[in-house]
Amino acid sequence: MQLPLIYIARNLWVRRLTTALTAGGMALVVFVFAAVLMLDAGLKATLVATGSDANVLFIRKGSETEIQSGIARDQAALIETLPQIARDAEGRALASKEVVVLNSLTKADTGRRSNVPIRGVPPVGLALRPQVAIVAGRMFRPGSNEIVVGSAVARQFAGVEIGRSLAFAQRQWTVVGVFDAGRTAFDSEIWGDSEQLLQAFRRFGGFSSVIAQLASPDAFDALRAAVDADPRLTVEVKRERKFYEDQSRALSNFISYLGVTLSVIFSLGAIIGAAITMYSSVATRTGEIGTLRALGFRRRSILAAFLLESLLLAAAGGAVGLAAATFLQTITISTTNFQSFSELAFSFALTPRIVAVSLIFALAMGLIGGVLPAVKASRMRIVDALRAD
């Protein structure tokens, strides 16, 4: 026979202050735990969404980012002739030869300088990224000194308002628009004309990367084989999505290792809190336990009742912690991604998986904290328990 849930819940309610303090401690741990997972999920979502499965990206062999890479003009021309690359109605390759450089700009809030990628994009490059849309002003005119800034750059950096101009590489570049790229890494970039930027920066290495659309989604293996087999090409081809996913690896590992380590250490504190509460709950109700046993409740039921009380306590803490964590979704974090050496904006993202994992984490704390007191309660002998106090 089981003890009714309402009986268990009422025990928690009677000792409101204790329940609130214990659940509060757990809520803080769950909050930290969920926040870390949300940050990691947000980072991954931003970078994974940046790449498209239909596109591939060419960079120089051995380089890990577009910044390190260099693709000479003859190599870029060779890439355009590869048969696995899609073509438009006039037979031109859907391949965008781009240049990416870093420019250090001043952040509006801290006044510190941070690196912002400036991407030179030819007209075909815009066609390859349908998610990019102008939200204010207009797109830059090809062949001009005009630039457009991503929405995250517009929010976080000073001096990038429409109409202002940035001075770099001995030229003035006028900001003519703000674009939104649907919460992808492009939001943290500045875009301009590819040829103009290439000339202004006098890059000796040529383009930074070539982004191309596959003729068919399953042409990737054939394309890679063709690239590897061609001794003239010293480039590496990756699916665009994979490339951006890889860019998140270092930062994502850093965040998740750090976060999980912290959560586990912190959870020790909360587990101890739960154990103290449950031990005291058992101690003050010794007589009650004896009565229940005398009435015919089995040891198993007593064990289950106290475990359930502890789990209920943890569930309450977990729910409060998660509820607080949902508010984090409105916050955008901006930090340097050490792999690409440039500023990247991303937000906390709550996924169903994080909700489930956080609640399981909370319940695990309750279970670990509650198991010893519950065992102690269930082992009491009826006579001793009734005689207590």
Partner 1 sequence: MFFLKLVLRNALRARLRTALTVLGVVIALVAFGLLQTVVNSWYAGAEAASGTRLVTRNAISLVFPLPIYYRERIRSIEGVRGVAVSNWFGGVWRDERSFFAQFAVDAENFFPMYPEFRFRPDEWQAFVRDRRGAAIGRQLADLYGFKVGDRLPIRGTIYPGIWEFTVRAIFDGRDETTITRQMYFHYDYLNEFVKQRFPRGADRVGVFVVEIDDAARAAEVARAIDAEFANSLAETLTETERAFQLSFVAMVETIIQVISGVSFVVILIILAVAANTMAMTARERLAEYATLKALGFGPAFVARLILAESVTIGLAGGLIALAATPVVAAGFFESVGRSVFARFEVQPVTYAWQIAAALAVGVLAALVPMIRAANVKIVDGLRHVG
Q: How is residue 44 written in tokens?
A: 């991954």
Coil vs helix vs strand at 180:
strand
According to CB under 8 A, which one of 5, 14, 61, 382 is a site residue for partner 1?
Answer: 61
Show Cβ contacts of residue 115 under 8 Å, excluding neighbours closer than 6 positions.
102, 103, 104, 336, 341, 342, 343
The answer to whether 326 contacts partner 1 (rule: CB under 8 A) is: no
According to CB under 8 A, which one of 12, 34, 101, 197 is a site residue for partner 1?
Answer: 101
Q: How far is the CB of 41 from partner 1 (least distance, A)?
A: 16
According to CB under 8 A, which one of 9, 45, 87, 103 is a site residue for partner 1?
Answer: 103
According to CB under 8 A, which one of 106, 216, 280, 329 is a site residue for partner 1?
Answer: 280
Nearer to partner 1, 219 or 262 (CB): 262
The answer to whether 114 contacts partner 1 (rule: CB under 8 A) is: yes
The answer to whether 364 contacts partner 1 (rule: CB under 8 A) is: no
DSSP 278: H
Strand partners of residue 305? none
Tell which positions 235-264 bind partner 1, by CB under 8 A: 250, 254-255, 258, 262
According to CB under 8 A, which one of 168, 230, 242, 371 is a site residue for partner 1?
Answer: 168
The answer to whether 96 contacts partner 1 (rule: CB under 8 A) is: no
Q: How far is the CB of 122 from partner 1 (least distance, A)?
A: 22
The answer to whether 29 contacts partner 1 (rule: CB under 8 A) is: yes
User: Where does this chain touch partner 1 (CB under 8 A) — which range of 1-9, 135-143, 218-226, 270-278?
Assistant: 270-278
Rounded to whole angstroms, the Cα distance separating 264 from 52 reads 36
C-alpha dist (Å) from residue 286 to 18, 289, 297, 377: 18, 5, 14, 8
Sort strands 342-347 and 113-120 into parallel, antiparallel or unpaired.
Answer: unpaired
How far is residue 365 CA from its own chain's centroid? 25
Nearer to partner 1, 138 or 249 (CB): 249
Rounded to whole angstroms, the Cα distance separating 340 from 185 reads 11
Nearer to partner 1, 77 or 268 (CB): 268
C-alpha dist (Å) from residue 313 to 4, 26, 319: 16, 9, 10
The answer to whether 150 contacts partner 1 (rule: CB under 8 A) is: no
Q: Are 366 and 310 in contact (CB under 8 A)?
A: yes
Nearer to partner 1, 177 or 273 (CB): 273
Q: How is residue 131 written in tokens?
A: 């998610």
Q: How is residue 172 written in tokens?
A: 């003035």
The answer to whether 277 contacts partner 1 (rule: CB under 8 A) is: yes
Neighbours of 111 (CB within 10 A): 8
Neighbours of 373 (CB within 10 A): 23
Q: How far is the CB of 39 from partner 1 (least distance, A)?
A: 8
Select from 104, 108, 112 the least CA-distant residue to 190: 104
Q: How far is the CB of 35 from partner 1 (least distance, A)?
A: 8
Tell which positions 38-57 bind partner 1, by CB under 8 A: none
The answer to whether 265 contacts partner 1 (rule: CB under 8 A) is: yes
Strand ranges, E, within the chain: 55-60, 95-106, 113-120, 133-137, 146-150, 165-168, 171-180, 190-192, 209-213, 235-239, 332-337, 342-347
According to CB under 8 A, which one of 54, 276, 319, 386 is a site residue for partner 1?
Answer: 276
Chain residues binding partner 1 by CB under 8 A are 17-18, 21-22, 24-25, 28-29, 31-32, 60-64, 67-68, 70, 101-104, 110, 112-115, 168-170, 201-202, 204-205, 234, 250, 254-255, 258, 262, 265-266, 268-270, 272-273, 275-277, 279-280, 284, 333-336, 338, 341
